[in-house]
């Protein structure tokens, strides 16, 4: 009998990729994906608890399934991901129409979980049982994600990830290479290595060693990785990025704050000066590298002066782009207990300032690319303009070009004709 599943994903790339794994497992079980939750036999919410906003959005969408289930009582509702791991059985009390709750370490058990008639809870707490060889139903035919490490040991004081994803575990390099070779055979051109703290990867080899090994996989043209912790950015890694031709010239390197007081409170374990030194070395070793970052506005105890340090840092470093967020107090974290929580207004005001400054910088940087040439990997039609093709530079910038006879997955040489706030325009110079 044909069964259908609707998966709603919140949160980071890791979660998006976990949803691909869930679909892979369920497909083996005879499920088909549907995009209409009302018609699904199974609804899965793959949740994120990083900020309150993501959490609220999930709960409001979860609420709607109550009425779907009234109409179709045979429908099953599952909550997965980071909120599931954190809340566990409380979810059954809060939303009695939920049937299954399972954590990020339990995707390999999905077959068993969804075939149960009764409510069930699966929250693995043994960090060694991160099952790896799961079937994956990938959302794209050119770019693929590959998880290389799970969990995080950093315990930044604001963050729930160490509690929801558990301790750091690295996959074996053999296993990773095998997966990537298979992807190459299937025609994938770009892979993104995933980990909350991707550059602290360590098995029989370290992260630069892994990059060197992956460089040799034929067929793969681009290798990316997210997210890097500044503390684990070694000279050896910088050299690997510089030397290896497939490893792209882009690093996402969250700074979080430009104030050493705040960085200490955040438990980030580096000072602004140390961070800056690494940025300069990176730019020196890797010509044209793009550096992007995350910033948190209004951490507890952040003074106006601390905030000004962040603003100054943005101006000094000139990131290619940032994600900036208002501090959101998360249950169970150390920051929740700290003194000096700021009002919504102060946080919003500081965030706004940060975004405005970065907007100017991004636009300036993009404009400075006009006239330069880049390799772009074609991702398909532009979503905003059907007459155009869209691709990304090795530095991860989006370029739209007038349509040419070119398939998704080909690499084109383009000249940038215009730099805008969120994208670049270009024209083909050589195929």
- Residues lying near ligand F3S in the complex (CB under 6 A): 11-12, 14-15, 48-50, 81-82, 160-161, 164-165
290 contact partners, CB below 8 Å, separation of at least 6 = 249, 250, 251, 320, 321, 395, 396, 397
Give the Cα separation of 103 and 80 in Å (integer).
5
Q: Which does 15 bind (CB under 5 to 8 A by kind): ligand F3S, ligand SF4, ligand SAH, none?
A: ligand F3S
How would you classify the pairing of strands 398-402 and 42-47? unpaired
* Binding residue (CB under 6 A) for ligand SF4 from 59, 97, 155, 163: 155
The nearest distance, CB 329 to ligand SAH, in angstroms, is: 7
Q: Please, what is the minimum distance in Å from the beta carbon of residue 86 to ligand F3S?
A: 8
Binding footprint of ligand SF4, residue count (CB under 6 A): 10
- Choose which of 75, 149, 159, 412 interacts with ligand SF4 (CB under 6 A): 159
Tell me the Ramachandran region of residue 151: left when phi exceeds 0, alpha when psi lies from -120 to 50, beta otherwise.
left
Sole binder of ligand SF4 in the list 77, 149, 152, 198 (CB under 6 A): 152
Nearest to 152 by CA among 110, 116, 192, 196: 196
Q: What residue number has its CB nearest to ligand SAH?
A: 294
Terminal CA-CA length for the chain: 48
Site string for ligand SAH, 255-294 (x = CB under 6 A): -x-------------------------------------x
* Cα 313 to Cα 21, 158, 239, 272, 357, distances in angstroms: 39, 21, 25, 8, 11
Span 226-245, contacts to ligand SF4 by CB under 6 A: 229
3-state class of 124 per DSSP?
Answer: coil
Q: How far is the CB of 208 from ligand SAH (least distance, A)?
A: 19
Q: Interhelix angle for 344-367 vs 304-317, to 10°?
A: 10
Alpha-helical runs (H) found in 72-117: 81-87, 90-94, 110-115
Q: How far is the CB of 424 from ligand SAH (least distance, A)?
A: 25
Q: With CB cut-offs between 5 and 8 Å by kind, which of ligand SF4, ligand F3S, ligand SAH, none does residue 347 bind? A: none
Using the rule CB under 6 A, which residue among 17, 189, 229, 278 binds ligand SAH?
A: 229
Q: In angstroms, give the least distance from the CB of 229 to ligand SF4.
A: 5
Q: Which is nearer to ligand SF4, 143 or 229 (CB)?
A: 229
Per the CB < 8 A criterion, the answer to whether 135 and 177 are in contact is no
Phi and psi, residue 94, nearest 5°: -70, -40
* Separation between Cα atoms, residue 122 and residue 103, nearest integer Å: 7
Judged by beta carbon distances under 5 to 8 A according to partner kind, the member of ligand SF4, ligand F3S, ligand SAH, none in contact with residue 82 is ligand F3S
Q: If DSSP codes are grouped into helix, strand and coil, which group holds residue 157?
A: coil
d(C-alpha 100, C-alpha 297), whole Å: 36
Counting contacts by CB under 6 A, is residue 156 touching ligand SF4? yes
CA distance 288 to 398: 16
Q: Which of 92, 100, 102, 327 binds ligand SAH (CB under 6 A)?
A: 327
Nearest residue (CB) to ligand SF4, 37 versus 49: 49
Residue 252 interacts with ligand SF4 (CB under 6 A)? no
Query: Considering the rule CB under 6 A, would residue 150 count as an interface residue with ligand SAH?
Result: no
Q: Does residue number 158 form part of the binding site for ligand SAH (CB under 6 A)? A: yes
Q: Which stretch in 34-42, 134-142, 156-164, 210-218 sits in contact with ligand SF4 by CB under 6 A?
A: 156-164
**Alpha helices (H) in 88-148, listed in sequence order:** 90-94, 110-115
Cα(430)–Cα(305) distance, rounded to whole angstroms? Answer: 50
Given the rule CB under 6 A, which residues bind ligand SF4? 152, 154-156, 159, 161-162, 196-197, 229
Given the rule CB under 6 A, which residues bind ligand SAH? 50-51, 158-159, 161, 196-197, 227, 229, 254, 256, 294, 296, 325, 327-328, 330
């Amino acid at each position: 009998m044909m069964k259908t599943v609707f998966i709603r994903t919140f949160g980071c790339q890791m979660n998006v990729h976990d949803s691909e794994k869930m679909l892979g497992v369920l497909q083996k079980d005879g499920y088909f994906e549907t995009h209409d939750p009302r018609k699904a036999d199974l609804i899965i919410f793959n949740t994120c608890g990083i900020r309150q906003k993501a959490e609220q959005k999930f709960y409001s969408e979860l609420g709607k399934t109550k009425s779907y289930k009234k109409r179709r009582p045979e429908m099953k509702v599952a909550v997965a991901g980071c909120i599931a791991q954190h809340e566990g059985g409380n979810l059954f009390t809060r939303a009695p129409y939920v049937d299954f709750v399972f954590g990020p370490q339990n995707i390999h058990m999905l077959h068993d979980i969804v075939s149960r008639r009764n409510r069930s809870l699966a929250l693995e707490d043994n960090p060694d049982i991160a099952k790896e060889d799961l079937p994956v139903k990938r959302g794209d035919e050119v770019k693929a994600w590959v998880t290389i490490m799970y969990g995080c040991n950093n315990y930044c004081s604001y963050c729930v990830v160490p509690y929801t994803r558990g301790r750091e575990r690295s996959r074996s390099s053999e296993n990773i290479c095998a997966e990537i070779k298979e992807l190459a055979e299937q025609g994938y051109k770009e892979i993104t290595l995933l980990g909350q703290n991707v550059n602290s990867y360590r098995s029989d080899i370290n992260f630069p060693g892994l990059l060197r090994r992956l460089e040799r996989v034929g067929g793969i043209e681009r290798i990316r990785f997210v997210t890097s912790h500044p503390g684990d950015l070694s000279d050896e890694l910088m050299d690997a990025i510089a030397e290896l031709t497939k490893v792209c010239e882009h690093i996402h390197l969250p700074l979080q704050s430009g104030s050493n007081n705040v960085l200490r409170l955040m438990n980030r374990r580096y000072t602004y000066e140390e961070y800056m030194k690494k940025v300069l070395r990176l730019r020196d070793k890797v010509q044209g590298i793009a550096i992007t970052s995350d910033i948190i506005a209004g951490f507890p105890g952040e003074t106006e002066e601390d905030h000004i340090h962040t603003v100054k840092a943005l101006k000094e470093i000139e990131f290619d782009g940032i994600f900036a967020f208002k501090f959101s107090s998360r249950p169970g974290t150390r920051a929740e207990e700290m003194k000096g929580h700021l009002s919504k207004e102060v946080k919003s005001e500081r965030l706004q300032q940060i975004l405005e400054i970065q907007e100017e910088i991004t636009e300036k940087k993009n404009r400075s690319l006009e006239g330069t040439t880049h390799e772009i990997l074609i991702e398909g039609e532009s979503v905003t303009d059907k007459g155009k093709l869209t691709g990304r530079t090795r530095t991860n910038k989006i370029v739209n070009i007038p349509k040419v006879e070119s398939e998704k997955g080909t690499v084109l040489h383009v000249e940038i004709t215009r730099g805008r706030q969120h994208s670049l325009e270009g024209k083909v110079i050589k195929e």
